[in-house]
Each structure stands twice: as structure tokens, then as C-alpha cells.
Amino acid sequence: MPLEALDTLPDGPEKDYLWTLNFGPQHPATHTTLRLILTLDGETVVKAVPDIGFLHSGFEKLGEDLDFNQYVTIVDRMNYISPIANEIAWHHVVEKLMGIDLTPRCKYIRTILAELARISDHLLCTGAQALDLGAFTAFLYGFQQREVIYDIYETISGQRFHPSYTRVGGLLYDVTEEFVRKVRSFVQEFPATHADMCRLLNRNRIFVERTQGIGVLSKELAINLSCTGPIARASGVVRDLRKDEPYLAYGELQNTFKVICATDGDSYTRYLVRMEEMLESLKIIAAAIENLPAGAVNVDVDSKVVFPAQTSVYRTIESMIQHFELVMPNRQWTPPLDEVYGAIESPNGELGFYIVSDGTGVAYRARTRPPSYIHFATFPYLIEGHQLSDVVAVLGSLNIIAAELDR
């Protein structure tokens, strides 16, 4: 977006002292491929124009070709820092479209995984924000705990990075005792790492001075620019879908967590909000893992939306037919002929999908509401008037994931 700032300058040789710096697309502080065209007055940023699309891979076009279960492997690759949150969001909307009510066990498992994803995402964001400002250690501490979360993903699905674990009406497999054990030990051990990171950064003079008062987003601007999630909450917008529109097990776990809000709206506040949110997530995980309901993980097989168990597919003709019906491209699910928007509170903000259904098992239109895309649009407003070295401080606090940005 061209800011009005440049237009107010007089034309002619007076403008000549402004110079243009090309930041990215390959730059260590952009982490992925995005480009900024900065107009600078000395070291002060007068105008920033983001240039994106380097990682555009047509995810939404693929969503119009792959069925509801197949597309989960693609949404995995949007925000690959917290892939399971994308899967949960996608199937949340598909299930909303079809009117499927999940089993209590599935709701709890998905809630635990969504919160693990939030911790994993916030660890990377806060760690990388510190890394960009020169604090390497906090980043490594964070990554060590992210490895533990990857181990948990591996336990449930066999895949560390892109679990593709959710399915329409349930999950790929039920979780095992080992999952419960690993989550319990994570709940035990994580606070120590969190405290280490806080001690390294919260009062670190370099970190604080480089982030406090930098990239201030006012509440009015946050709302006007469609911000959601930790970025909006750091600016005083009290919105959290987990409280406001409870989904999965959040309604039942309502009293175990608080919504973290702040009013300063600068990079440091966004960092603090994310750090505190991790502890709230941990409380949700602790409550959910101890109250994990027994029972089936998938909805009733007679609803014809889930695959029957493998043994019954081999042994009974009804199950075999049902399995067959769900994999044949001309059969599959029969959702209503309508369109629906649904969203979850992903680590980055409201992650929504808008599905237009033509009554088949493949979405006619599978729109993603990508929080990274919407938050990156705020960047020119945030960086205006700051120094060149503040670019990384602001960029790090927005947690832009280019795969989700460009899709």
C-alpha cells in the first residue's frame, strides 16, 4: 500500500535524498520468502511496500480438486509452524458444513493438539523475534521444546512435521497411552523452559529497548486493519474465539484459562502476550489431558461420514461398501448445497475457511482466511517512521509465515 507519507513530500530534487532498499526476498530476517521495498531517509523508513507471492502455490485451486480428507495434507503446509491448527480449522469448517457433532474424546484430543500447536507456534515466533535481535539462546531453548512437541506429533501420526491427523468426523487414529504420557511430561517440563526464556528476554535491556515503543498498533487501527489473535489482543481488542465462540472442548474448559490482553500494542507487548498465552495453553492442556474422555474417537460409523475400521472392511460387506463409497470420486460425502464460513482461534489469529459446497465431497470453493496475509498488510503502517534496524523487530513480532501468506 503506498502510504500518503510520500505524497506529502514536495516533488523534484528535494525527494532525491530518499533512497530505496530492497529487503528480501532472500534475507535471513524474513525467514521465508517475502520482499519489502523500503524507501529510506537516511536510516528512517519513509515508506514500505511489501511485495509477496513468491511462495504462491495455488492451494485454494487445489482445494477445489481434492476431497475433504485429501485437502488436509495441503492445509498442513500453510502455516507449517503449527500445522495441526490448520487441520483442525479445515475439518472444523467441513464438519460445520455437514452438521457433524464430534465425539467428546475427539474434541478433547483436538483441543490438546490445538494448544500444543499454539505453544509450538509462539515458541518459534518469540524465539525468532529474539534471534533477529541477536538473542540466540532463547531461540534454542524454545526449539528444544518444539522438538518435544514434534515427538508428540510423531507419536500420534507417525509424521513429525505435517501430521495430517484429522479426518472428517474424527481422527486418523486414536491416541495411545504413550501420547498421554508424553503430554503429561511436557506439561511438567515446559514451565522451566518458559521461565528460562522469560528470564533471558523480559528484562533484557537490548531486547526491551529494541522492541518497546516500536511498531505501535493502536486499537482503532488494529480493528480497521482486520487484525485478530495475539496481535489484536496486544492492542486492546478483547477477542478470542475460544471464549467468544467456543468450539471443540473449549466450552467445557472455559474456566481453566484466561484471555491475555494488553493495550500498548508495540512489538514488546506482542511478545509478552504470546509468552503469557503459552502458559494459558498449558493450563488447557493439563486440564484436558487429565479429563480425557473414554470412548470412540470417530463419530458413529452409521453416519456414513467416517471410514469403518480396517478389520470390519475386510470382514463385512457393509463396511467394505461404505469404505468404497467414501473413496470413489463420484460418491463420497453429500453435504448440503450451501456455503459456510467457520473459524478457529489459531496461534496467529482467526484462521477461517469459507467453503462453497456443490453437494459433493470436494469443495466447490475452499477459501482460506489467512491471518498472516491480513497481518502482513499492517506492516507498512507499523514501520512508518522507524529505523531500518526496526524492520526485523516489527516483522518478527507479526509472525508472518510465507506459506500461509501466499498459499
Partner 1 sequence: MPARNVDRTKRIIMPFDTIITALKGRFADLATSEFRDNRRVVVAPAQLFDVLKSLQEEHGFDLLFEMTAADYLKYPNAVDRFGVVYGLLNTVTGERVFVKTVLNEPDLTLPSAFSLWKGADWLEREIYDMYGILFDGHPDLRRILMPEAFAGHPLRKDYPLRGRGERHNFPVITRANS
Binding site for partner 1 (CB under 8 A): 1-2, 52-53, 56, 58, 60-61, 64-65, 96-97, 99, 221, 223-228, 237-239, 243-245, 254, 258-259, 336-343, 350, 352, 354, 356, 358-359, 364-365, 367, 369, 373-374, 376-377, 381, 406-407
Cell of residue 228, nine digits: 485478530
Beta carbon of residue 337, minimum distance to partner 1 (angstroms, whole number): 7
Q: What's the min distance (Å) between Cβ of 358 and partner 1?
A: 6
Nearest C-alpha neighbor of 125 from the set 347, 280, 327, 326 = 347
Q: 228 near 378, Cβ under 8 Å?
A: no
- Asked if residue 356 lies in contact with residue 336, where contact means CB atoms within 8 angstroms, the answer is no
C-beta closer to partner 1: residue 138 or 383: 383
Extract the C-alpha cell encoding 319.
Answer: 463396511
Q: How far is the CB of 277 from partner 1 (least distance, A)?
A: 15
CB–CB of 361/67 below 8 Å? yes
CA 115, CA 188: separation in Å to the nearest integer? 15
Least CB distance from residue 224 to partner 1, whole Å?
Answer: 5
Query: Radius of gyration of the chain from Cα atoms?
Result: 22
25 upstream amide cis, omega within 30 of 0? yes
Strand partners, 375: none
Residue reference for cell 509450538:
120
Q: How far is the CB of 300 from partner 1 (least distance, A)?
A: 21
Q: Tell me the CA end-to-end span of the chain in Å, nearest whole number.
A: 20
Minimum distance from CB of 42 to partner 1 (Å)? 26
Q: Between residues 297 and 305, which has the closer beta carbon with respect to partner 1?
A: 305
| Nearer Cβ to partner 1 (198/221) | 221
Give the SS3 label for residue 163.
Answer: coil
**CB closer to partner 1, 208 vs 216:** 216
**Closer CB to partner 1, residue 27 or residue 367?**
367
Q: How far is the CB of 99 from partner 1 (least distance, A)?
A: 8
Distance of closest approach, residue 355 Cβ to partner 1, in angstroms? 10
C-alpha span between 237 and 218 (Å, rounded): 10
Q: Cα 80 to the chain's mean position, in Å?
A: 8
* Distance (Å, whole) CA 235 – CA 227: 10
In which element (H, E) is residue 61 found?
Answer: helix 59-63
- Cβ at position 232, least distance to partner 1 in Å: 9
Q: Are strands 363-369 and 349-357 parallel, antiparallel or unpaired?
A: antiparallel
Three cell numbers written together for 76: 498442513
Is the Cβ–Cβ distance between 227 and 378 less than 8 Å?
yes
Tell me the one-letter amino acid at 7: D
CB atoms within 10 A of CB 237: 20
Q: Of the two residues 185 and 334, which places its CB atom closer to partner 1 in the complex?
A: 334
190 vs 250 by CB, closer to partner 1 = 250
Tell me how far, at minimum, the Cβ of 104 lies from partner 1, in Å: 21
Residue with Cβ nearer partner 1 (173 or 364):
364
d(CA 339, CA 283): 35
Residue 195 has φ and ψ, to the nearest 5°, of: -65, -40
Nearer to partner 1 by C-beta: 160 or 331?
A: 331
The answer to whether the beta carbons of residues 143 and 123 sit under 8 Å apart is: yes
Q: Tell the smallest beta-carbon distance from residue 228 to partner 1 (Å).
A: 7
Is 143 or 373 the residue whose CB approaches partner 1 more closely? 373
Q: What pairs with residue 141 in β-bridges? A: none
Name the residue nearer to partner 1 (CB basis): 296 or 340.
340
Cell of 376: 502482513
